[in-house]
Structure 1
Amino acid sequence: MFRSCLFLIVAAAACGAAVRAEEPAAGKQVAQQFTTKDDAGEETTLHYWLYLPKNHDGKTKLPVMLFMHGSGERGDDLEVVKKHGPPKVCTTNEDWQFITISPQCPSNKRWDAAVLTKLVDQVAAAQQGDEKRLYVTGLSMGGSGTWAMIAANPGKFAAAVPMCGRGNETAADKLVSLPIWVFHGAKDTGSPVALSQTMVDAIKKAGGEKVKLTIDPDAGHDCWTKAYGDLALYKWLLEQKKN
């Protein structure tokens, strides 16, 4: 009986079965599930990692970070979301201060700003997130998702960090007052650095003075490993707060 149960557990893991949800707890990153419906009644379910900082007591409001992965981490194996960025580094950074939401995009889908907005709102409300310190970031497809999130929610976030993504220039006037730190690799051939440069230029042309672009001269598409590994990024984020 024991061998049979063990085989089922191993087989499920090998097949990329969804990670079982756990109760959120300070200092832990646990799997969670979120389900919502749109105006037409269509249901969407997202699985996500939730990390609560070690100082989370359920009473003190703490900053919230939404992270969106790239296209390679889509699917139904939540473990792959930990390959890059905040869900990878949050558990090893002793001073991590963000309530961190790291959802997984379903296969053959792209990030849906409306669904993610509801997810952020629900987690922030349930975990005492600080509505004046909501941050959003993502890489590649998630970088594009970051641009889409801030365009769809002007005034909601305290700062944004899109990496090697594609934005919509026509939304530039909505982003002039938002602190945005953009990252891209100079040698990126899949998503040319011009995608980020164009967005930054459009925001500045619209009057934005809080956007900046960091181009890694040695990086290809992967500009995120170095960027997310630099504590200066998180220090900068924590300095951004809505009035």
Structure 2
Amino acid sequence: MGYHKCVITNENSTEAPILVVYLHGGSSKGNDNEKQLLEPGTDSIARYLETHGINAIFLIPQCPTDKSWGGPMNTMLKAMIDRYASEGVADTNRIYIFGGSMGGTGTWGMLSAYPNFFAAAMPVAANPSKTVVENVATTPAYTVMGTADAIMKVETAASFVEELKALDDDVRMDVEEVGLTKQPAYRVTPPPVSNGCLATGAAPRRPSCGPQASAKWCPPSSSLSTASVSATPSPANSLSEGIYWPTAPQKSPRPWRQPHISLVHTL
């Protein structure tokens, strides 16, 4: 499983960076470690972190073509996150996860698989029906659904949210009059900062420092395999235990890239 990393740095802040993970939808599955970057959610989240001056490490993994988020992929995602947590480069009390469509369902799944692990979550256009509600209820969550979505049903999410509320979870749900999985203009946008929090119930941070933060896209990376706590490069252009290693630099598809944001694709 390949992933990209973006480091957002605010030179006026000494806080340890938060760790943010975004899970893409089903149409971005692949083995090129590139297609997931085209999703609008990556743009929205990176801009939000940068604009609000939040020190952050932003990870964008790609689900292999023959798999879906959930099940064995939960273990691989957790290993990727644990790599950064164990190295002490991020604030382990502020790990956030976002996802849209299949990625939103995968986000609910990660909350179910790892209760009390994430600071907050934002699943969008997602189906939570296969999760353990008691586990999910340990994490603050903000979910958004679309009324015209033919795949992910508002009623399913609404019923689940009511179950979470009954368990005193800090959860919020908004409904948009669109089908989120069919609207290219839709953006996965984090909720506004309130009382110094990134999301409902999130750990407090310093007030926004404005536009001084800068973002740097780092070389494509490989996550850990499910069988070990370390990884070594596989032969070029091959898959080994679910780990993808790009063979050559590729041009960024991001139209929003600005001069102060550098994208590096060399290994």
State the TM-score, normalizing by the size of structure 2: 0.64
Partner of 1:99: 57
Deviation of 1:221 after TM superposition, in Å, equals 2.5
- How many residue pairs get aligned? The number is 195
Q: 1:99 to 1:166 in 2, by over 3 A?
A: same
Deviation of 1:226 after TM superposition, in Å, equals 4.1
Partner of 2:123: 162
Q: 1:216 to 1:223 in 2, by over 3 A?
A: farther
Partner of 2:227: none
1:49 touches 1:87 (CA, 8 Å); kept in 2?
A: no
Q: 1:138 to 1:90 in 2, by over 3 A?
A: closer
SS of residue in 1 equivalent to 2:3: strand
Q: 1:63 to 1:144 in 2, by over 3 A?
A: same
Q: 1:80 to 1:88 in 2, by over 3 A?
A: farther
- Choose from 143, 149, 172 the match for 1:212: 172
2:145 touches 2:176 (CA, 8 Å); kept in 1?
A: yes
Report which stretch shifted further, 78-87 or 194-203.
78-87
1:148 touches 1:167 (CA, 8 Å); kept in 2?
A: yes
Deviation of 1:124 after TM superposition, in Å, equals 3.0
Partner of 1:38: none
2:3 touches 2:33 (CA, 8 Å); kept in 1?
A: yes
Give unmatched runs, 5+ long, in structure 2: 205-267
1:136 touches 1:157 (CA, 8 Å); kept in 2?
A: yes
Partner of 1:202: 163
Deviations 1:138-179 (A, max 9, x none): 011101110110111101100011111111366111233421
Matched residues in 1 for 2:75 and 2:123: separation? 18
Deviation of 1:86 after TM superposition, in Å, equals 4.4
Report the aligned-residue RMSD: 2.8
Matched residues in 1 for 2:82 and 2:137: separation? 23
1:73 touches 1:80 (CA, 8 Å); kept in 2?
A: yes
Give unmatched runs, 5+ long, in structure 1: 1-45
Matched residues in 2 for 1:130 and 1:77: separation? 30
**Within 5 Å, which residues of 2 pair with 1:1-243?**
46-55=1-10, 60-89=15-44, 92=47, 94-95=50-51, 97=54, 98-111=56-69, 112-126=73-87, 128-168=89-129, 171-205=132-166, 207-222=167-182, 226-229=186-189, 232=192, 236-237=198-199, 240-241=202-203
Q: 1:157 to 1:109 in 2, by over 3 A?
A: same
Letter in 2 for 1:108: D
Deviation of 1:208 after TM superposition, in Å, equals 2.3
Letter in 1 for 2:157: S
Deviations 1:64-99 (A, max 9, x none): 111100110001222221122443245555436231
1:63 touches 1:134 (CA, 8 Å); kept in 2?
A: yes
1:137 touches 1:160 (CA, 8 Å); kept in 2?
A: yes
Percent of residue pairs bearing the same amino acid type: 23
State the TM-score, normalizing by the size of structure 1: 0.70
Letter in 1 for 2:198: W
2:115 touches 2:138 (CA, 8 Å); kept in 1?
A: no
Matched residues in 2 for 1:55 and 1:223: separation? 33
Higher relative helix content: 1
2:191 touches 2:199 (CA, 8 Å); kept in 1?
A: no
Letter in 2 for 1:128: V
